[in-house]
Chain A
């Protein structure tokens, strides 16, 4: 009984430790942060050329 209790506590702790998708992904950490993205991604250079039809 005591063992089951501590197992349940451990399971709950583990579940709480699983973050929601948004914070679990390292992609989102950078890609949702405007300042980080601005620092990491150079501004595009426009080339000369015509638009299409």
Chain B
């Protein structure tokens, strides 16, 4: 049962020392449901100051973190808009829709986040858990990342998952809670995972692997070679047509690091995405329809690590002008090798 409190938790978790009303308000001594719920706060951590009463420093940095501000959902797309369109977007799209998804403390530590109206309730009987990725991260990041990681979309699970790792083994608490800087998007975050944190240079088991890394390190991203199978390419999300996606590996020039070959993901913004609110995206062609992506289905050996010809003569999975989306951004052509 999603919202049944486990009485054992009440005895052991210090959060309950001051009673339910300390966070939820209402009247914990009332005789009826209606009286008890008078003035009750369902989601106390929506006001970060509630948690900040004790966890002051975390609440302070979290207020500026991307999980709370959702700034990436605004700044990622805004270059497509004119100045007047940006104002319409902020008012009618970002505040009404995107920002409704922001996560508060409780969405990761008490109950699973509500996604598309589906509410699975407490993570563990109202226990305040440190982490439980399958009941928290997986729900919001379940359209693409998490099922790729666990193999639920088919193929072998990510090698890190098969070795017992989960989200927070790479994505640190500092990254989740923020470092006090209000970033524009996730690419700007200072503390974020890097393959080289664990896979140091000169750790290769074979000379051929060492040679491959040395000769490609400036020009090819880690994921371009080590992404095992097709990952989600999103095509009609956010268009009232139902979400559709197709698995594929797409290799092309990194739009954020020109000159580097990397894995690309088709993103769902098309020319008509915001027409319903009168935004025609006057600068649509400023951004491509693909962003550099880090698919979470990494393997040590893939078609590309086994055989040089896969890329160097066959150009397997390379983005080509023939398979660019119709009426797509003119910027897409710059990503074709």
Interface residues of A (CB under 8 A from B): 21-22, 24-28, 30-34, 37-38, 40-41, 44-53
In the bound complex, what is the Cα–Cα distance between A27 and B28 (angstroms)?
A: 6
Which listed segment binds A: B114-122, B174-182, B201-209, B303-311?
Answer: B114-122
A50 touches B31 (CB 8 A): no
The number of chain B residues touching the other chain, given as a range, is 35 or more
Contact for B143 among A21, A22, A47, A53, CB less than 8 A: A53
Q: Which residues of B contact A25 (CB under 8 A)?
A: 19-20, 28-29
A52 to chain B, nearest CB (A): 5
In the bound complex, what is the Cα–Cα distance between A49 and B36 (angstroms)?
A: 34
In the bound complex, what is the Cα–Cα distance between A6 and B141 (angstroms)?
A: 65
Additional pairs, 10, CB under 8 Å, beyond known A26-B31, A46-B116, A46-B118: A25-B29, A27-B24, A31-B4, A38-B1, A44-B119, A47-B117, A48-B242, A50-B237, A50-B243, A52-B115
Q: Which residues of B contact A51 (CB under 8 A)?
A: 115-116, 139-140, 142-143, 243
Contact for A52 among B11, B31, B101, CB less than 8 A: B101
B238 touches A41 (CB 8 A): no
In the bound complex, what is the Cα–Cα distance between A21 and B76 (angstroms)?
A: 49
Q: Which residues of B contact A30 (CB under 8 A)?
A: 33
B6 interfacial contact with A, CB 8 Å: yes
Q: Which residues of B contact A53 (CB under 8 A)?
A: 141, 143-145
B185 to chain A, nearest CB (A): 13
A41 touches B3 (CB 8 A): yes
B116 touches A50 (CB 8 A): yes
Q: Which residues of A contact B116 (CB under 8 A)?
A: 46-51
In the bound complex, what is the Cα–Cα distance between A25 and B116 (angstroms)?
A: 33
Can you pick out 11 interface pairs between chain A and chain B where the beta carbons lie within 8 Å of each other?
A: A22-B10, A27-B24, A27-B36, A31-B3, A32-B4, A37-B3, A44-B117, A44-B118, A46-B117, A50-B143, A52-B115
The 5 A-B pairs with the shortest beta carbon distances in the complex, nearest first, are A50-B243, A51-B143, A49-B116, A47-B117, A27-B20
Q: Which residues of B contact A28 (CB under 8 A)?
A: 5, 7, 10, 20
Interface residues of B (CB under 8 A from A): 1, 3-7, 10-11, 16, 19-21, 24, 26, 28-31, 33, 36, 101, 115-119, 126, 139-145, 237-238, 242-243
Q: Which residues of A contact B10 (CB under 8 A)?
A: 21-22, 28, 32
In the bound complex, what is the Cα–Cα distance between A49 and B100 (angstroms)?
A: 14
Contact for B11 among A22, A47, A48, CB less than 8 A: A22
Q: Which residues of B contact A34 (CB under 8 A)?
A: 1, 4
In the bound complex, what is the Cα–Cα distance between A34 and B1 (angstroms)?
A: 7
Closest B residue, CB atoms, query A30: B33
B6 touches A32 (CB 8 A): yes
Q: Which residues of B contact A27 (CB under 8 A)?
A: 20-21, 24, 26, 28, 36
A15 to chain B, nearest CB (A): 18
